[in-house]
Amino acid sequence: MTKPARITIPTEPIGSIPRPVDLIARVAERDSDDPSLAPLYEAAIRDTIERFEATGSPVVTDGEQKKRRGFADYCVHGLPNTAPDGFMIPFADGHTRRLSRLTRGPFRYTHYADSYLDVAMRYAHVPVKQAVIAPSALSLMYPAETIRDYSREQFIDDLLREHETEIRRCLKKGAHKVQVDFTEGRLSLKIDPSGHLLHSFIDLNNLSLSRFSPDERSHIGVHTCPGNDLYSTHSADIDYAELLPGLFELKAGNFYIALAGERDRRHVLKVIRTHLKPHHRIFVGVIAPIDPHIETPEEVRDRVLEASEYIPVEQLGTTDDCGFAPFMDNTSTSRDTAFAKIRARVLGTALAETLIGAHS
Ligand SMILES: [Zn+2]
């Protein structure tokens, strides 16, 4: 009798881990690029990767310890031709976050994410993934009125070139995956229920993704979520049925979909089953960073088994619904809680893997 092939369900984090509180306090006091902060950043990254690896996570990140301000505009931090009063993200609890606004041309990145990868890979013993921000999010930096001598078309050209450069640099340095953060996808349906804005975002992101080969795209993924900041969301009331058909048109091989915090997971899984494509790997969220409760491995196992009823197991993976602190100053979740949740994801995914393997 031949032994059945071992089932593997890959599991990956999204990205951010809450920064140490002393680092947040020091960054708040001075410019976050102040060279005197370098040892603090370095210590935070080293500690993050050690604790990440201790969870058993087969893929780690640097916890985005050095992404200034957060996941969205780290790449333009310090860019002189910006103002802080850009696009506003409204959260359900009433608080808001703002992106930077471009005041004149040209648009350039000040930081490419591969610089974070350099440091992380010095400390890591397992593969490291890297999250980058989607062009669609940064496109919101261009104001409604045209900037003199710098058209929107010129801006989009510069933006796509910078984004492509960032992904290529991360792939070249050996990122396990490059994950494009696309939280504004679901939010766009709240701003524009017609779906016009969503489809313009998808078209824009595909202009960039189509520059990559199918092999490169198998290392590129897209993350969608309803937002996650200070225990609040920005678009949890938008039905995934409105988003996922368009989302799966993105030319990426991997999708990281927040699911654990959804009110009706089976409804979402049915939508995924209807629209996923054969070359997609779907990493479903089995941990809810927005929920203070630390999931047990058994809860995670059951969520994976549930997902496997809808998604072919060779296309299934697990992840967290979102990062644990997408914005740098967020201390609502402790580092201890974040790593305990990640450990549950790793253990619970392994439990499901064994069960599914035994029945296949
Ligand atoms: Zn997210």
Cα of 63 vs centre of ligand 1, distance in Å, is: 13
Q: What Cα–Cα distance (Å) separates residue 242 from each residue in 1, 189, 234, 239?
A: 47, 8, 16, 6
Residue 32: its pLDDT value, please? 62
**The whole model's pTM is what?**
0.96
- DSSP annotation of 9 reads -
Cα of 328 vs centre of ligand 1, distance in Å, is: 14
By DSSP bridging, strand 220-224 and strand 178-181 are parallel
Report the candidate in 347, 352, 231, 333 with the shortest Cα–Cα distance to residue 296: 347
For 297, other C-beta atoms within 10 Å of its C-beta total 17
Residue 2: its pLDDT value, please? 54
Cα of 271 vs centre of ligand 1, distance in Å, is: 19
For 46, other C-beta atoms within 10 Å of its C-beta total 17
Cα of 191 vs centre of ligand 1, distance in Å, is: 18
Residue 177: its pLDDT value, please? 98
Q: What Cα–Cα distance (Å) separates residue 346 from each residue in 58, 104, 301, 338, 353?
A: 8, 46, 10, 13, 11
Residue 13 tokens read as: 């984090």
For 131, other C-beta atoms within 10 Å of its C-beta total 28
Is residue 92 within 8 Å of 236, Cβ to Cβ? yes
Cα of 69 vs centre of ligand 1, distance in Å, is: 15
Report which secondary-structure segment, H or E, holds 352: helix 335-359
Cα of 226 vs centre of ligand 1, distance in Å, is: 7
For 158, other C-beta atoms within 10 Å of its C-beta total 16
Mean pLDDT for back-to-back runs of 10 residues, the chain (360 residues): 72 96 87 81 96 97 92 93 93 93 97 96 98 97 95 98 98 98 96 97 98 98 94 94 98 98 97 98 97 97 98 97 93 94 98 87
Cα of 67 vs centre of ligand 1, distance in Å, is: 15
Cα of 32 vs centre of ligand 1, distance in Å, is: 23
Residue 35: its pLDDT value, please? 83
Cα of 15 vs centre of ligand 1, distance in Å, is: 9
Cβ-count burial 57-90 (b if 16+ within 10 Å, e if not) = bbbbbbbbbbbbbbbbbbbbbebebbeeebbebb
Cα of 190 vs centre of ligand 1, distance in Å, is: 16
Residue 36: its pLDDT value, please? 86
Cα of 281 vs centre of ligand 1, distance in Å, is: 18
